[in-house]
Amino acid sequence: MVMNERTTCVSDCLLCDPAAADDYFQRTLVWQDTLWRLSCVMQGPIPGFAHLEPRRHIPFITELDGPEAATLGTVLARVTRALREAADAEKVYVYVFGDHVSHLHFNLAPHRAGDGLRGGPGLLDPSSPDVDLAAHQAVAIAVRGTLNASS
């Protein structure tokens, strides 16, 4: 495994072994630099569905730091633009869930009219009740306070 000087590997992390992850997810590496790698999944209903992940083991987005944090926006814009163009998509959905693999990875899904993606509220369980406005406001106020205090 090629690693940079900041890479730490976790032995039970599938994404820390890119060849094993590629085999497991039936994906192929399409791009990498010293910090990031992009692999396209070669199965399923969405052509161009891909994973963008740091080469260094970072468990969750809340632990993103260093050069990965500094380059994320540029890298994400570059790879989603490439996926949108290559898949002739209207947009590329970007989402992060860390329930099954605790190695930060962005799921990138090019979307074209009429494909299998529902997008938006379709990602939610339709039977989920709306949360009280006060709960939304409390979170917004807390985030505003945290981010304004640290700027």
For residue 8, the model assigns a pLDDT of 66
The angle at the Cα of 138, spanning 63 to 97, to the nearest 5 degrees, equals 35
Task: Give the tens place of pLDDT for each residue, 11-35.
Answer: 789 998 899 999 998 999 999 999 9
Find the range with the poorest average confidence among 14-23, 37-46, 72-81, 94-103.
94-103
Task: Report the DSSP beta bridge partners of residue 95.
Answer: 107
Residue 80 has pLDDT above 50, yes or no: yes
**pLDDT mean over 107-127:** 81
Cβ-count burial 21-34 (b if 16+ within 10 Å, e if not): bbeebebeeeeeee
H helices of the chain, in order, are 18-25, 66-86, 133-149
131: which strand partners?
none
SS3 9: coil
CA-nearest of 11, 85, 25, 88 to 53 is 25
pLDDT bin (cut points 50, 70, 90) of residue 1 is very low
Token pair recorded at residue 35 = 């910090």
The predicted structure's pLDDT at residue 150: 64
**Which amino acid type is present at position 97?**
F
pLDDT value at 5 more than 70: no
Distance, CA of 140 to CA of 146 (rounded, Å): 10
**Strand-pair partners of 90:** none
- Per-residue model confidence (pLDDT) at position 112: 87
* pLDDT computed for residue 66 by the predictor: 93
CATH superfamily, with its number, for domain 14-149:
HIT-like (3.30.428.10)
pTM score of the predicted model: 0.81
